[in-house]
Amino acid sequence: MNLPVEVIEAVRDGRCLVFVGSRFSAEARVAAGMDVVNGRELAKGLGWTRPRVRPGRPAGPITPSVRSAASEWERVHDRVSMVEHIDSLVGVGSCEPTRAHEFIVRNFDLVFTTVWDDLLERAGMQVGRSFEVVGRGETIPDPDDEVPVLVRMRGGFDSTLCVTRADHEKPLWDDDGRRQMRKLLRKSVVLFVGYRPDEEEFEVLFDELTAAYGANLPRCHLAVAQGRIDDYQWQRWVWRGLLLFTADPEECTDAMEAALNPC
């Protein structure tokens, strides 16, 4: 793994804007001896099936859609059943925060996340940092060392869960919120960690940030979890201005820890 120097310097200088994905939760489940359900498997666990390709249309890669599957589950059953089922598939139960969680809460005063569990908050409490939790669409307060901020862009396993198409159609930020995000994105080095670029979780997040920014995002870095990606995905995201390197959450944060605090 070649950890970008730009990212290391940005973390050291407090200029790194970090987005934490669900592969953090996956590592915690592995450590607890639990099965791991990734984004593709979650969609299938909610009943997603591959759509038929119409004759004459190119049969490109199809990303299993958690949004579509969750929307259908909610329509057939109900909202409470949907939330409970997703929690049963990917929830962390009694899992403990990992080294990756602890690194994030120690080194960042502002953290954005698309995970649904509470491992980041619990990691913060363990290291003596109580994060102010901000929900989707809420005003983001100015963070500092005394009052760090955690922005939950997809809510949690309760009434705040954001997963269906209808959930995502609700405005993410108002005009003031979009101006604040543009400022943060413009002045920061952006790091996505705990994601895969061939899963819907990251695609939706990237599209939402692009819409908030109002243009192509500035230089961003993505630590690709769970191994390599195919050439199609690599070229697709490089074309969108994303710089990719392969690293699972703990691998990435351990490397940053070593770079920031060399022996």
CATH of the domain at 14: 3.40.50.1220
Q: Tell me, what's the pLDDT at 72?
A: 94
Q: Tell me, what's the pLDDT at 128?
A: 95
Q: Tell me, what's the pLDDT at 219?
A: 84
Q: Tell me, what's the pLDDT at 53?
A: 61
pTM, to two decimals: 0.94
User: Domain range holding 198?
Assistant: 5-33+98-260
Contact 37, 45 (CB under 8 A): yes
What gap in Å lies between CA 138 and CA 116, rounded to an integer? 17
What gap in Å lies between CA 169 and CA 158, rounded to an integer? 19
Which parts of the chain are beta strand (E)? 16-20, 110-113, 132-134, 149-152, 189-195, 220-224, 242-246
Q: Which phi and psi angles does 144 have, rounded to 5°?
A: -155, 180
Tell me, yes or no, whether 50 lies in a domain: no
Tell me, yes or no, whether 64 lies in a domain: no
Q: Tell me, what's the pLDDT at 145?
A: 84
Tell me, yes or no, whether 252 lies in a domain: yes
Which H/E stretch holds residue 225? none
| Alpha helices (runs of H) in 38-141, residue ranges in sequence order | 39-45, 66-76, 79-90, 99-107, 119-126
Q: Tell me, what's the pLDDT at 233?
A: 86
Tell me, yes or no, whether 190 lies in a domain: yes
CB atoms within 10 A of CB 182: 15
Count how many domains the chain has.
1
Task: Find the largest Cα–Cα distance for the chain.
Answer: 61
Over the chain (263 residues), what is each successive 10-residue block's mean pLDDT? 91 96 96 92 90 58 86 95 95 95 98 98 96 93 91 95 94 91 95 95 96 91 87 89 94 96 83
Tell me, yes or no, whether 43 lies in a domain: no
